[in-house]
Structure 1
Amino acid sequence: MIKAINLSTYQYDMDRYNNNYKNVNKFLEGNNLNAIELFGLQLYREELIPKDKIKGVHLMHYPVWLDFWNEDEDGIFEEFNSKEDIINYYGKLDKKVMVDKYREEIKIAEKLNAEYAVFHVSNVRTKHCFNYEFTYTDKEVVDATIEIVNEIFRGLNTNITILFENLWWPGLKMTDPELVRYFIENIEY
């Protein structure tokens, strides 16, 4: 069994270990952990976390992505104040940017010899974290996730295992067995 901690080489993570892998390794050993589940793949630094300790990766997670994916401008501007904010969050105004980023991260994961990559299946606007008046149903989030995941893997030559993470926001909450079955049966990967 893999016992892993989610960690990045971002400054705020590495400051806890004085930017020294020996301290990271002591933490792993002291807590009976044998691996790291890396996130922040785009900014990974091997001198801070050696590749041989990485067993899995967390792909980029966009908590609020469905309005952007659906090209729902009204919905997007309920979350963002300007086009500049949207570009800062996603990288571009074209939804294809998400597919490209996920593909790039999967390629990085392969170079790191990661055994798996985690993809989050949820969507939530900031205000919905407080009022629970969600814009999308579990089924709508699952359908959109099927669409984007199938697009990501279309023509991508990879052997990486994808793990789909459930969250408490609309999406794959694992409370509806039929929806889980539907999701699994429609992923083309």
Structure 2
Amino acid sequence: MYLMNISNYSGDLDKFQKDWKNVERFLEKHQLDGVELICYEEDYLDTLPRHILKGLHLKYFPTWLEFYKNDHQKVCEMFGGIEGVRQYYGGIHPQTLIDAFRDEYRSAQEFGVEYMVYHVSHVTTEHSFTRAFDYTDDDVLDATVELVNQAFDNDSDVMLLFENLWWPGLTLLDKEKAQRFLDRINYKNKGIMLDLSHLMISNPNLKTAREGAEYILKMIEKLGSFKEWIRGIHVNLSLPGDYLKMDHRAEYAELLKTEDPFERYLKTVGHIKKIDWHVPFDHPLVKNIIDLIEPEYVVFELLAQNLEQLDGYIDIQNKAIGRGAK
């Protein structure tokens, strides 16, 4: 099944004149079977045709570990006080996170989606610039197991797929860690959503799309039998090696001097976008990756500024995989 990512955020739907019928026509043009949705509030959901809605990308709090561990002092320092904490998480107690994911789980069941995607990662704004992490993969994985087993405490037909990132957490660079993590998740209908860009970002020495594809193929082979847990893939390309090798501590120092919270947010997002590109994987070896994994879901997870660019991106991605547009 071939899908594309989309959100019900007005800025995203502006590309389609806020009309889901235009989204349907776009999907048909590019031989796509539906969408993986990121859900913002309740906007435009009443007119969303359920038959195109196949997956739900759950909320992602990049920074959550300190909050979940109830380290109020540290969290207040990071978010400028208790109101900043409330604004970011929607509450001031760890239960807020559990409730947020429980709500989205209920939404997934009500929508009738086939799968949910959960990011297994943690990073503070500071460490996204400095990479001087004071937490490990195991710290993040252990806390995620605890949180997930509380939030998703009853099984359903909706698959729960865990996505890899390059920050501490589920990187998929260590198959034993990944297997231990999945084994401790009580939700039975589970698996992995492999994000190709996120795996590439873990190797800053990659220079070309071919090198990226060859690296991914090698890493999948290293996973051995764990590969069978991969039920879906996010297809895109990122080769930020040169940027990752730069020293960004001065940028972070400048960020701290920025008083306006929204401007700080935009600078941080700009930094992340230089790492995680969300552009088409334009090398034909991407088809070898898909053939090796044989996933149930192939999601074109691309970020475009307008419909024309998105149209071109999907064409490039289809062509690389060997699929023609109508």
How far apart are residue 152 of structure 1 and its match? 1.0
- Please say if 1:100 is aligned against 2:99: yes
Write the letter of the residue equivalent to 2:118: F
Residue 187 of structure 1 corresponds to 185
Kindly indicate whether the alpha-carbon contact (under 8 Å) linking 2:55 and 2:113 is maintained by their aligned counterparts in 1.
yes
Kindly indicate whether the alpha-carbon contact (under 8 Å) linking 1:21 and 1:47 is maintained by their aligned counterparts in 2.
no
Q: Distance in 1 between matches of 2:101 and 2:46?
A: 24
Residue 141 of structure 2 corresponds to 142
Equivalent positions of 1:166-181 (< 5 A) are 166-181=164-179
**Higher RCO (C-alpha 8 Å, min separation 6):** 1
Kindly indicate whether the alpha-carbon contact (under 8 Å) linking 1:10 and 1:43 is maintained by their aligned counterparts in 2.
no
Q: Which runs of 4+ in 1 moved over 2 A?
A: 29-32, 41-49, 156-159
Kindly indicate whether the alpha-carbon contact (under 8 Å) linking 2:76 and 2:84 is maintained by their aligned counterparts in 1.
no
Count of matched residue positions in the alignment of Structure 1 and Structure 2: 187
Q: Distance in 2 between matches of 1:166 and 1:43?
A: 28
CA RMSD between the two structures:
1.5
CA radius of gyration, larger in = 2
Q: Distance in 2 between matches of 1:157 and 1:174?
A: 25
How far apart are residue 77 of structure 1 and its match? 3.0
Kindly indicate whether the alpha-carbon contact (under 8 Å) linking 2:4 and 2:34 is maintained by their aligned counterparts in 1.
yes
Kindly indicate whether the alpha-carbon contact (under 8 Å) linking 2:3 and 2:32 is maintained by their aligned counterparts in 1.
yes
Q: Distance in 2 between matches of 1:25 and 1:157?
A: 31
SS of 2:44's equivalent? coil
* 1:71-103 Cα deviation digits (max 9, x unpaired): 112331342101101001111111101111111
Unmatched segments (≥5 aa) in structure 2: 188-326
How far apart are residue 25 of structure 1 and its match? 1.7
- Please say if 1:43 is aligned against 2:42: yes
SS of 2:15's equivalent? helix
Percentage of pairs with the same residue = 38
Write the letter of the residue equivalent to 2:125: T
* 110-119 or 42-51, which deviates more: 42-51
Residue 71 of structure 1 corresponds to 70
* 36-45 or 88-97, which deviates more: 36-45
Q: Distance in 1 between matches of 2:43 and 2:4?
A: 16
Residue 163 of structure 2 corresponds to 165
Kindly indicate whether the alpha-carbon contact (under 8 Å) linking 2:108 and 2:116 is maintained by their aligned counterparts in 1.
yes
SS of 1:127's equivalent? helix
Kindly indicate whether the alpha-carbon contact (under 8 Å) linking 1:66 and 1:141 is maintained by their aligned counterparts in 2.
yes
SS of 1:162's equivalent? strand
Residue 3 of structure 1 corresponds to 2
Unmatched segments (≥5 aa) in structure 1: none
How far apart are residue 43 of structure 1 and its match? 2.2
* 8-17 or 74-83, which deviates more: 74-83
Equivalent positions of 1:8-157 (< 5 A) are 8-40=7-39, 42-154=41-153, 156=154
* TM-score (norm. length: structure 1): 0.92
